């Protein structure tokens, strides 16, 4: 079959790598792709947030199946347009993607179905928001309701900091995303992510992961999109996963179906675990980046069969073929990231690196220029490896990192420290 993946980051390179290994895949296209993806798939330059551009491309290229990587096309209704045109698609409708696009919507759904999460309130004016903060005290969490490229959340240590965040959001720091503000109880604990496929009714767990959001070793420095990840997450024990399915994920999915907006695609639940109990932090309606890289490393070619079963409403027919393995990915980023950084420096040392089911260099922000690979984003490469233990996966991932010659980049040396300590 002919398959199109939308997106051009490390997540999409990992998806393309896994899908390409499955004999069901004939022609693989990725829009827009990157230099690494171009080595295994045809890259197409289309506006992936345009419903008509994506649908027209699919019709013109006999695409049988579309996998949507990032949230923006989902929120823009690209999955709806494709299904309307009769094209099989992996990813939720715009109505179901509200689980990521609106934090107030998600909290409302959680309340309706009894899913445990932080206490909350929503505000459209600063005076009421600040009065609530004063009454609750700090620490407290202030969130822009809408999508803010991962920057719309302030975990405030003091009432003053929380009030300043409210002012900033209502002043338009996040545009329309901050027109409404959600204020939440601060939850202490350890964070982990749980990934499930949902076909409208059936829920199939496909793995757990933890990432490192801070830029520097020791989980210090500014917040980023993620500097590394590993799977499985030891803190999400089998018992806790079962509890999360019954208390949070299945009730949410049932509530979405009850509202007439059933969910189809991968659901990424961010959980906060404390004292053996977990509560929901947030949902994302896509794979995490870089969490997808470690999940794909572990699932390999079967990922396509699972995604097809999900899109076709036959999840009850499939099972995940688990190996007793671990995977880690280390992100190489441009110096300066997540602040200002330069593009265009050359990355050397990529030729001749091992590339197999134990170790892969996934490209995130790169572009090819003649024979050279140039940095073209903040997060640039994902050094990803698998092993019988997490330590083995880590050693392989860092062995890749040490062979790459890119003085303009940096990476953390301590990915997985928490899990490796246990």
- Could you list the residues that contact ligand GLY (CB under 6 A)? 211, 225-226, 284, 288-289, 291
CA angle 293, 347, 3 (to 5 degrees): 40
Q: Residue count of the chain, please give it.
A: 422
Binding mask of the shown chain, residues 109 to 138, with x at each position contacting ligand AMP by CB under 6 A: ---------x--------------------
Question: From ligand AMP, ligand GLY, none, which one binds at residue 191 (CB under 5 to 8 Å depending on kind)?
Answer: ligand AMP
Least Å distance, CB 182 to ligand AMP, is 9
Min. distance of Cβ 282 from ligand AMP in angstroms? 4
Interface with ligand AMP (CB under 6 A), residue from 12, 180, 184, 289: 184
Report what 228 binds from ligand AMP, ligand GLY, none; CB cut-off 5-8 Å by kind. none
CA distance 246 to 141: 27
Closer to ligand AMP by Cβ: residue 186 or 398: 186
Q: Residues near 336 by Cβ (< 8 Å), separated by ≥ 6?
A: 342
Q: Which of 35, 79, 96, 141 binds ligand AMP (CB under 6 A)?
A: 141
Closer Cβ to ligand AMP, 215 or 373, answer by number: 215
**Is residue 270 a contact point for ligand AMP (CB under 6 A)?**
yes
Nearest alpha-carbon partner for 183 in 213, 207, 163, 204: 163
Q: Reduced to 3 DSSP states, what percent helix, strand and coil does the chain have, rounded to the nearest 5?
A: 35, 30, 35
Three-class SS state of 356: coil
Whether 22 contacts 301, CB under 8 Å = yes
Pairing of strands 120-123, 140-144: unpaired
Return the structure tokens found at 257. Answer: 């179906």
Tell me the closest approach of the beta carbon of residue 211 to ligand AMP, in angstroms: 9
Query: Could you say which of ligand AMP, ligand GLY, none residue 225 binds, taking C-beta under 5 to 8 angstroms by partner kind?
Result: ligand GLY
HSE on the CB side for 294, CA within 13 Å? 34
Q: Which residue is associated with the tokens 């330059």?
A: 45
Contact between 192 and ligand AMP by CB under 6 A: the answer reads no
Nearer CB in complex with ligand GLY: 262/290: 290
The minimum distance between CB 411 and ligand GLY, in angstroms, equals 15
Please pick, from the candidates 281, 331, 347, 393, the single residue that binds ligand AMP as defined by CB under 6 A.
281
Taking phi first (over 0 means left), then psi (-120 to 50 degrees means alpha), and beta for anything else, what does residue 228 get? left
Q: Does 191 bind ligand AMP (CB under 6 A)?
A: yes
Among ligand GLY, ligand AMP, none, what does residue 282 contact (CB within 5–8 Å per kind)?
A: ligand AMP
Q: Rounded to the nearest whole angstrom, what is the least distance from the CB of residue 5 to ligand GLY in the complex? A: 16
Cis peptide before 32 (omega within 30 of 0): yes
Piece of the chain touching ligand AMP by CB under 6 A; list 80-88, 183-191, 194-202, 226-234: 183-191
Indicate the DSSP class of residue 313: T
Element (H, E) at 373: strand 372-375
Whole-angstrom Cα Rg for the chain: 21
* Site residues (vs ligand AMP, CB under 6 A): 118, 141, 153, 155, 184-187, 191, 270, 281-282
């Amino acid at each position: 079959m002919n398959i199109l993946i939308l997106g051009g980051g490390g997540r999409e390179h990992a998806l393309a790598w896994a899908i390409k290994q499955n004999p069901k895949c004939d022609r693989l296209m990725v829009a827009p792709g990157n230099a690494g993806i171009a080595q295994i798939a045809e890259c197409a330059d289309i506006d992936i947030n345009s419903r008509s551009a994506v649908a027209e491309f699919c019709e013109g290229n006999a695409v049988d199946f579309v996998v949507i990587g990032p949230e923006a096309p989902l929120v823009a209704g690209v999955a709806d347009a494709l299904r309307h045109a009769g094209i099989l698609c992996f990813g939720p409708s715009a109505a179901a993607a509200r689980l990521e696009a609106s934090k107030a919507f998600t909290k409302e759904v959680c309340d309706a179905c009894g899913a445990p999460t932080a206490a909350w309130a929503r505000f459209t004016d600063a005076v009421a928001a600040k009065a609530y903060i004063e009454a609750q005290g700090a620490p407290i969490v202030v969130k822009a309701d809408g999508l803010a490229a991962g920057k719309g959340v302030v975990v405030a240590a003091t009432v003053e900091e929380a009030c300043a965040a409210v002012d900033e959001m209502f002043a338009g720091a996040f545009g329309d995303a901050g027109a409404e503000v959600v204020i939440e109880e601060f939850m202490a604990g350890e964070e982990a992510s749980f990934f499930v496929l949902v076909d409208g009714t059936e829920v199939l767990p496909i793995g757990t992961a933890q990432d490192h959001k801070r830029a520097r070793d020791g989980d210090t420095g500014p917040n980023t999109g993620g500097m590394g990840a590993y799977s499985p997450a030891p803190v999400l024990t089998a018992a806790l996963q079962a509890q999360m399915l019954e208390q949070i994920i299945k009730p949410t999915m049932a509530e979405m179906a009850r509202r007439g907006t059933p969910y189809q695609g991968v659901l990424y639940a961010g959980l906060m675990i404390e004292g053996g109990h977990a509560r929901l932090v947030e949902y994302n309606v896509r794979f995490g980046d870089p969490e997808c890289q470690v999940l794909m490393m572990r699932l390999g070619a079967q990922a396509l069969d699972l995604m097809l079963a999900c899109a076709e409403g036959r999840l009850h027919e499939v099972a995940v073929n688990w190996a007793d393995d671990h995977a880690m990915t280390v992100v190489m980023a441009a110096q300066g990231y997540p602040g200002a950084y330069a593009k265009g420096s050359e990355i050397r040392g990529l030729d001749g690196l091992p590339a197999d089911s134990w170790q892969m260099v996934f490209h995130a922000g790169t572009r090819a220029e003649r024979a050279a690979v140039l940095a073209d984003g903040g997060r640039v490469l994902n050094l990803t490896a698998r092993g019988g233990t997490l330590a083995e996966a880590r050693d392989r991932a860092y062995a890749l990192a040490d062979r790459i010659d890119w003085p303009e980049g940096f990476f953390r040396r301590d990915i997985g420290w928490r899990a490796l300590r246990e």
